[in-house]
Structure 1
Amino acid sequence: MAFSILTFSQIRKAIIQEYRNGTGITVPDDSDAAIRADGTSSVVEGLYHHQLYIQRQLFISTADEPYLYIHAEELNLPRLGGTKASGTVKAVSNVDLTLTVGSQLTDGNGYYWSVISDTVVTANVETTIDVIADQAGASWNYSGTTLLWVSPVAGLNGTATVINIAGGSDQEELEDWRARLLERKQLGFNRDRSVDLKSLIKSVAGVASIYVYPKRRGLGSLDAAITAAGDPPTLPSTALIEAVQVVLDEYAGFWADCRIFSPTQQLLDVTAIVTGSGVNLTEVEQTIRDYIAELTPAESFQSATLVSRIMALDNVTDVDLTPSSNVEPTVDWMNVYWLRAGTITVSAVL
């Protein structure tokens, strides 16, 4: 049975009752005894609240943010900071030149990405350039197709084609951190469970999801595919994979051959021809993209599920969807395919 915490009124009544029992006075509200009872009751009530506050900080599930740092230190599970988005772009020049480290690209809206290392650009040959965001945060993940060079050198095309820029994440949300702390507390110490490995890999900033495949490359092997934080999650960068590999080797390298790898992107082209009066085609396209974005690595595309979502939109009476059957991504010892949105075409019946 939980300890009963008295209210101010209950404490005051108990004190006044003791006055009456001990002295026989009536204790009216304006008497000295009643005033002393009010003051004493306030102090006692404050002490009760302080004890409740202390009790709340003792447990991860109820602790306030400052005290979660104390629990985290005990469990060796610090809060994840934000990560910088990184990726690659293609540059073209009509002369041979070298793009120096620190050369910047911008989207024209106050976001900048910098070249990671000196890169030689050969004349009239598309060259892949590694770039990283100037600041941490999910807002620095870039979904567009082109960026502009800031003060491009002579001969360099001022527009760069974006291959992929992702992996940026904000500081870990408080409740997500609390959930990781609770999970670690509940799991205790054990090295060879899938949940232990997932808990460990989640401690690396920028990781969105983990998929563990025991014996993928044979007996004694243990592989894990990861996705990078983003909205929606994206393929991990080489830097993120290497960071997770270092952590995993330190944790489990002496008892298993562990490898971190990236899922293989499999673009899925979808065509939808909708029937209905006043159908918002943009909304239909967004519904398709949202559904594909929800798919996890190795998860199949369910055409019936997508059709039902489109049919639930306003004014849609029918939809002809291609592909009309389920699409199963390949999963083998070499690749774990991940269905991502390719070319999405939406039109209305004429």
Structure 2
Amino acid sequence: MAFKIPTFAQVKKTIVQEIQSLTGLTIHDDHDAAIRADGTASVVDGLYSHQSYIQKQLFIATADEPFLYIHAAELGLPRLGGTLASGTVTALSNVEITLTSGSKLTDGKSHYWMVATDTTINANTPTLVNVVAEQIGVSWNANGSLYWLNPKAGLSSTVTDVSIGGGSDQEELEVWRARLLERKQLGLSRDREADLIGFMKGVAGVKHIYVYPKRRGLGSLDVAITAVGNPPTLPSSALIASAQLALNEYAGFWADCRVYSPTEQLVNVKAVITGAGVNLTEVRQVIRDYFAELAPAAPYQHAILSARIVDLANVSDVALTPAANVIPTVTWEHTKWLRLGTLEVSNPS
């Protein structure tokens, strides 16, 4: 049973009772003995509070942020900082030009990306350009179109086929606390799958880890990873490289290790919603959320998605396409990952 800390009033009452027992005096609130009892009880109450504070910091589950750094140092599990987003864009020019390293792109919303290396663009030839975010953070992951700042003569001001990912913010406090608790509960590393997953979570930018032992035969250990994002995204080559270094450090001496990216398998979804006053935007969000939750190799289940949609207000029925479950392919070459392709939501015509 936990020790019950007395309140200030209870401490004061105990002191007053002791004085009365020793002196036989009748003590009222305005008496000198009662005032002295107030002061003593305040000190005792402060000591109890201090002991409660110390107890709180002793355990990972309750420690305040500054003390989590002490626990992290003991466990060798520092808080993850953010990572820079990186990727490629397709640039087009009607004359041959050289884009110098540091040339900037923007989305017009105070986010900027820089060209990573000098790149020559031939006339009328779409060219992939490697870019990196100017600042750390998940907000610098991008797709769609971006715009050059002060483009050179002949260079199209808009870039297309934007694929920039891998950016992440500093690890959230409670996510870090959960990692610390997990490491504490696992104890000494014993080369279990949970140990490996816990270790790989220490790579900045990694969201999910899926372990496939003997995927390429005896002695092999393959790990599929996804990148931080909302929803999670495919990892960049830089993230795969840093995760590979971490995996080699952890298990390279006893296994043929490989970090790889899942392969996207797009699922085009069409939903015809029956019901009066249905908010189709909510339906779209439910479908996006469902696909965002799917892990690599996890199947699309028609019944589950249908049930989530029917559970929305005013929805009486839904006709979903695909109308059957979709099972992603998993072989030694590919681990397919079901992602949402085109989405069409409508009412019956």
Q: What SS does structure 2 have at the residue aligned with 1:148?
A: strand
Aligned equivalents of 1:75, 1:27: Cα separation in 2: 55
Aligned equivalents of 2:125, 2:200: Cα separation in 1: 39
Q: Residue 119 of structure 1 aligns with which residue? A: 119
Aligned equivalents of 2:25, 2:316: Cα separation in 1: 83
Q: Residue 269 of structure 1 aligns with which residue? A: 268
Q: Residue 62 of structure 2 aligns with which residue? A: 62
Q: Is 2:88 the counterpart of 1:88?
A: yes
Q: Is 2:331 the counterpart of 1:332?
A: yes
Deviation at 1:27, TM superposition (A): 2.4
Query: Structure 2: which 5+ runs fail to align?
Result: none
Q: Report sequence identity in percent.
A: 64
Query: Structure 1: which 5+ runs fail to align?
Result: none
Deviation at 1:248, TM superposition (A): 1.4
Q: Residue 217 of structure 1 aligns with which residue? A: 216
Deviation at 1:336, TM superposition (A): 0.4
Tell me if structure 2 keeps the 8 A contact 1:147–1:162.
Answer: no
Aligned equivalents of 1:140, 1:190: Cα separation in 2: 35
Aligned equivalents of 2:35, 2:46: Cα separation in 1: 17
CA RMSD of aligned residues (A): 1.5
Aligned equivalents of 1:42, 1:108: Cα separation in 2: 59
Aligned equivalents of 2:177, 2:41: Cα separation in 1: 36
Q: What SS does structure 1 have at the residue aligned with 2:142?
A: coil
TM alignment of 1:106-185, pairs within 5 A:
106-143=106-143, 145-185=144-184
Is the deviation greater in 279-288 or in 231-240? 279-288
TM alignment of 1:295-306, pairs within 5 A:
295-306=294-305
TM alignment of 1:239-278, pairs within 5 A:
239-278=238-277
Aligned equivalents of 1:297, 1:217: Cα separation in 2: 18
Aligned equivalents of 2:59, 2:280: Cα separation in 1: 50
Q: What SS does structure 2 have at the residue aligned with 1:101?
A: coil
Tell me if structure 2 keeps the 8 A contact 1:191–1:197.
Answer: no
Aligned-partner residue type, residue 261 of structure 1: Y
Aligned length: 349
Residues 111 and 18 (structure 1 numbering): CA distance in 2 closer, same or farther, change over 3 Å? same
Aligned equivalents of 1:232, 1:56: Cα separation in 2: 35
Map Cα deviations across residues 153-195 of structure 1 (whole Å, 9 max, x no partner): 1111111013312222211111111110011111112241111
Q: Is 2:308 the counterpart of 1:342?
A: no
Q: What SS does structure 2 have at the residue aligned with 1:271?
A: strand
Q: Residue 34 of structure 1 aligns with which residue? A: 34
Residues 37 and 339 (structure 1 numbering): CA distance in 2 closer, same or farther, change over 3 Å? same
Deviation at 1:106, TM superposition (A): 0.7
Residues 281 and 53 (structure 1 numbering): CA distance in 2 closer, same or farther, change over 3 Å? closer
Q: Residue 78 of structure 2 aligns with which residue? A: 78
TM alignment of 1:7-26, pairs within 5 A:
7-26=7-26
- How does the TM-score come out when normalised to structure 2? 0.95
Deviation at 1:109, TM superposition (A): 1.3
Aligned-partner residue type, residue 196 of structure 2: L
Aligned equivalents of 2:22, 2:310: Cα separation in 1: 78
Aligned equivalents of 1:225, 1:349: Cα separation in 2: 41
Q: What SS does structure 1 have at the residue aligned with 2:307?
A: helix
Aligned equivalents of 1:15, 1:23: Cα separation in 2: 12
Map Cα deviations across residues 189-241 of structure 1 (whole Å, 9 max, x no partner): 22411111111111111111100001111111111101000000000011111
Residues 9 and 267 (structure 1 numbering): CA distance in 2 closer, same or farther, change over 3 Å? same
Tell me if structure 1 keeps the 8 A contact 2:92–2:159.
Answer: yes
Tell me if structure 2 keeps the 8 A contact 1:191–1:252.
Answer: no
Map Cα deviations across residues 48-97 of structure 1 (whole Å, 9 max, x no partner): 11011011111111111110010001111111111222221111111222
Q: What SS does structure 2 have at the residue aligned with 1:94?
A: coil
Aligned equivalents of 2:176, 2:188: Cα separation in 1: 19
Is the deviation greater in 153-162 or in 234-243? 153-162
